[in-house]
Amino acid sequence: MSVITYTALREFEPTISVAADDISVSGTDDSFNAPAGLLGFLDTEWILVSGFANAVNNGWFQLDGNSTATKISQDTTTSLVTEAAGPDVMIQGYKRGINQQYSIEAGLQMADRSVKVARNSRQAIGGGAPEVLLYRREVFIDVRTTSIEEPYMPQWREFLASVEGGETFTFDRYGSLVTPVEPLLVTLVSDSYTEAREFMFRYRISFKVRLV
């Protein structure tokens, strides 16, 4: 087993969405409300709200309990401003939220360590030991997962998109969520990655990381 811990930044896994002009904001209990149509947003998941006139009513919010047909409660802020319905408002649900830390446990088929050294050496005419100038030493791990079922692929895509800009993440190729063994701070080296399809709904992912 292995563990990857990352900060979610891109390609968030979506759930349900609502777009309507009858959604209002209550500053009394910091909630979003409508006559109907808000059912299906789940506790601890996140919503991205846009379209309200007051800027504080737009943005990312984490749910505080499952939504009802008429109310979405959140606990990210206590500063929502009461706003009547009227503008076209979009509420998009996501499994996870921006700038939040998440972990993935996975089996590995391959986790090969390699070292790349950049150096320059000069040999004296008379022989003897060469003079070596060491510029840098880089350690890499080539990773290939075991079979991943399709329902888990959206989080893997979210993870890879969230670190493709050079963001650091933690990779423990021997540990688990309960028992860490060798958590390493790494960056994604691969400019691209592959999703090798195995069976009808199973994949293996290959990528390469560099130790920081």
Whole-number pLDDT of residue 7: 98
Indicate the residue type of 170. T
Q: How far is it, in rounded angstroms, from Cα 58 to Cα 71?
A: 16
Chain-wide mean pLDDT for the chain? 95
Closest listed residue to residue 209, CA positions, set 87, 77, 103, 114: 114
End-to-end Cα spacing for the chain: 22
Q: What is the 3-state secondary structure (H, E, C) of the chain?
A: CEEEEEECCCCCCEEEEEEECCCEEECCCCEEECCCCCCCCCCCCEEEEECCCCHHHCEEEEECCCCCCCEEEECCCCCCCCECCCCCEEEEEECCCCCCEEEEEECEEEEEEEEEEEEEEECCCCCCCCEEEEEEEEEEEEEEECCEEHHHHHHHHHHHHHHCCCCCEEEECCCCCCCCCCCEEEEECCCCCEEEECCCCEEEEEEEEEEC
Fold for 2-8+103-211, please state it.
Elongation Factor Tu (Ef-tu); domain 3 (2.40.30)
Contacts of 136 (CB under 8 A, 6+ apart): 117, 118
pLDDT class of 93 with cuts at 50, 70, 90: very high
Closest listed residue to residue 32, CA positions, set 53, 55, 49, 15: 49
Global confidence as pTM: 0.90
Whole-number pLDDT of residue 60: 98
- pLDDT tens by residue, 196-207: 888 778 999 999
Domain boundaries, the chain: 2-8+103-211, 22-87
Whole-number pLDDT of residue 130: 85
Whole-number pLDDT of residue 134: 85
- pLDDT tens by residue, 94-140: 999 999 999 999 999 999 999 999 988 888 777 788 888 888 999 99
- pLDDT tens by residue, 6-58: 999 999 999 999 999 999 999 999 999 999 999 999 999 999 999 999 999 99
Percent of the chain, pLDDT > 70? 100
